[in-house]
Amino acid sequence: MPYFEIVTVIAAPPERVFETSLDVEVHSRSMAKSSERVVGGRTRGVLSLGDTVTWQARHFGLTWRLTSRITAYDSPGYFVDEQDAGPFGRWRHAHHFEPDGAGGTVMKDVIDFASPFGLLGRVVDRTVLDRYMRRLISTRNAYLADALGCQKG
């Protein structure tokens, strides 16, 4: 099962980064390149424990839907979103926020996922999706830093 971590330093306090990371509209704007939009569940505002949202986006020329749920939440330290329904065999994204000692935040994304379809899915994960997902999360984090009016570190 593919697993990766991305660490991003954002020059804003953990409370602001945490809340902005859970903002449905900020997330949609961060994924504009893939035309991601909300089509179900919580459609506006900041997500909290137990909330679900269904996203629709275009990746690899196809339209996909993914419903995720906030399954863990401890403000402003971390939250976890997991796929309830969608294209992955498994999708779990843990978001961690720690003070950096200078008024900013060290944000760590921990992602583990798996495509369906056994061996074929594992080949796709290794050859395509791992790199693609890393770029997608990095793009989102850069947008988040910009949305907070901060430089990404």
What single DSSP character describes residue 153?
Answer: -
Tens digit of each residue's pLDDT (9 = 90 or more) over 119-137: 999 998 999 999 999 999 9
Is residue 151 pLDDT above 70, yes or no? Answer: no
Which residues are registered as beta bridge partners of 95?
79, 109
CATH 3.40.50.720 is right for the domain spanning 3-147? no
Which residues are registered as beta bridge partners of 91?
113
Whether 119 and 127 have beta carbons less than 8 Å apart is answered as no
Whether 93 and 71 have beta carbons less than 8 Å apart is answered as no
The confidence band for 153, taking pLDDT boundaries of 50, 70 and 90, is: very low
Instruction: Report the chain's C-alpha Rg in angstroms.
Output: 15
Q: How do the domains of the chain map onto residue ranges?
A: 3-147
Average pLDDT of span 91-96: 98
